[in-house]
A and B are shown apart, each in its own frame.
Chain A
């Protein structure tokens, strides 16, 4: 009893008990129980069996592709999402609100629709894809065969970049708006040029937000299914993503195999998000946000 009470600190904000109780229940029902079921299922397979399933070359290939393409997409969005956020916050131009609203479209669009649209555009006979074929105007840049985008890992990166863009923009944007313009003016009076002001004063202030955006974009990309399966071509060992492999295993009634892939994804995701969180905590201290 006393221990339970010590848990709860006196507070002027009422409702701690009920709010905390509900939070635990909610997290349990929505997040923890399904994940626990997955882990239980994976544990039921047995260690050697699990290892065999998880290290199958088709599985490792799919995992490498899923996480590699997601990291690439999140990294691309850190750069260009920051640019988009910067333009939206710092400049006033006609149609700014329209562009601002368009950022959220990847959220709202059914991902399958996005996948089909992107495939149509980036296929060798599509508007953009045709530019990069051997006979296209830009194809010579990529050697004899030109560049194939759809039905390759590159196409997967394109789709994942599309679906995860809003995460970086929407996390960086409010923080960028908060960066005091006086800081930039102070840097200018001290003789810093625009480049020095941006790299040494503005960017360090938004590093934590940028990391959060990266983590969210990465998490979103790893779990993406709908848009990717249309553009990927889904060739085993080449352009088959892990979520698709899970579905394939399920369709084969190979529940143990599906669980093994899922558990691997869960584990890798958890470790990656944990590392990003640690970097974030470090950067908050380093850049004086938490102090």
Chain B
């Protein structure tokens, strides 16, 4: 089911949670809404579900205008961060709930509902747990049950609100992979919300990066990584260092030192560079100089921070065998970078 969102806005008591958002979701796509808290990603998801109603704009499911339809009429599967399972019902009853509340004419028989619940338990890899109660399951199992419950109504679109947010890191990674496989098998149009950039970039076909109620960029993981549309996107999807530079005659100069070339017009810029895109330069060669203030090992690499005289700390991620210990004076040079308007860069903090 294609979903098309046009000029969507949502206001809560004078606060604009969503501001003129337009987005096309293709049928069968797995798409992530990524952003910090307060970016409007959950509001957008809830508007698509019909759990909130927009202050302006339209939502279309295929050719049909869904904007004014109730949540019951939209036929969406919604999975909550904290599962929202019905505690007093067995797992099978939870899964069958959506079928059992249908009007008499379209309601399947009890036996049929039970059969469907068992089928879905197979699908989410929890066969035989139908008679358990939610309290007897682990967090990961509960979220699978919640997903099976959402799938039971054969939804036109599957919406997941921070589905793995309440789980520990290991279970989260497992479920992530599992959800991707499930999506490839069932082909549901799926939208999920997350604030975890790894989760979004690893799992989704396309990622929608949001900030302050607006869409900053829509694209594949590669687009977001390699061609960030704004300083915000660059900073949000990974660690970054920001340096004030001057472009003159196609050369990028950092405090008199030429770091590289650019086709950009002359003027002040902010240079954004990832810690792993910085390399050490040999003694005497031009670079960004500073004193090593911190050096530690992290997995297969070394994390080094250098103090520059004018622009504070710069973080580097170097191979594990790279030299440099606290107190050494070293110089570095960016291999790859992104230039943004200096003014725009000023409001972005690294991290």
Contacts and interface: CB of A to CB of B under 8 A. Distances in A.
A208 to B, nearest CB: 10
B49 interface: yes
Given A189-B77, A189-B150, A191-B101, A289 B87 contact: yes
A182 B84 contact: yes
What is the interface residue range for chain B against chain A? 20 to 34
B101 A189 contact: no
A288 B87 contact: yes
B326 to A, nearest CB: 42
B103 to A, nearest CB: 9
A201 B86 CA distance: 7
Interface string A193-204: 100100011001
Interface stretch (B130-138, B194-202, B328-336): B130-138
B80 A286 contact: no
Contacts of A190: 97-98, 101, 149-150, 152-153
B101 A193 contact: yes
B76 A189 contact: yes
A133 to B, nearest CB: 47
Nearest to A285: B133
Contact of A182 (B75, B80, B149): B80
B338 interface: no
Interface string B137-159: 00000000000011011000000
Interface string A275-287: 0000000000011
B51 A188 contact: yes
The prevalent SS among residues of A at the interface is helix
B84 A186 contact: yes
B79 to A, nearest CB: 9
Nearest to B88: A287
Interface string B73-101: 00111101010111111000000011001
A133 B78 CA distance: 57
B72 interface: yes
Interface in A21-62: none
25 contacts: A180-B82, A183-B84, A183-B86, A185-B78, A186-B78, A186-B80, A187-B86, A187-B97, A188-B72, A189-B49, A190-B98, A191-B72, A191-B98, A192-B72, A192-B101, A193-B72, A200-B86, A201-B86, A204-B86, A204-B88, A205-B88, A288-B89, A288-B133, A288-B135, A291-B136
Given A189-B78, A288-B88, 12 more contacts: A182-B80, A185-B80, A186-B78, A189-B72, A190-B98, A190-B149, A191-B98, A191-B102, A192-B101, A200-B86, A205-B88, A291-B135
